Amino acid sequence: MANHKSAIKRIKTSEKKRINNRYYSRSMRSAVRKFRGLTDKVEATKGLPKVVSMIDKNAKRGIIHKKKAANLKSKLTKMIASL
């Protein structure tokens, strides 16, 4: 257990941050999974900006790497083209 007051505070803040990061990460992953399940091209085209925005926000927050975000976006746009 932490002995210093600052260490105790750090544990609390890092736990809060971990929970928030987990929430953002899970919501993004489930949105991507849902998006990949789409079969209608028009619906997929409409939904792409929302998913891309989610991915970009997570990359900006540092939850995922910016290159992983770029790869995800690339794969999703490729998927739309193949529909």
Dihedral sign for Cα atoms in the order 14, 69, 60, 47? negative
Which sequence spans correspond to the domains of the chain? 30-83
What is the tens place of the pLDDT at every residue in 36-60? Answer: 999 999 999 999 999 999 999 999 9
pLDDT the model gives residue 3 = 86
For the chain, percent of residues with pLDDT exceeding 70? 100
Give whole-number Cα distances, 32 to 7, 73, 83, in Å.
37, 10, 16
* C-alpha to C-alpha distance for 29 and 46, rounded to whole angstroms: 18
CA–CA separation, 55 and 29 (whole Å): 9
The structure's pTM equals 0.86
Stretch 57-77: mean pLDDT = 97
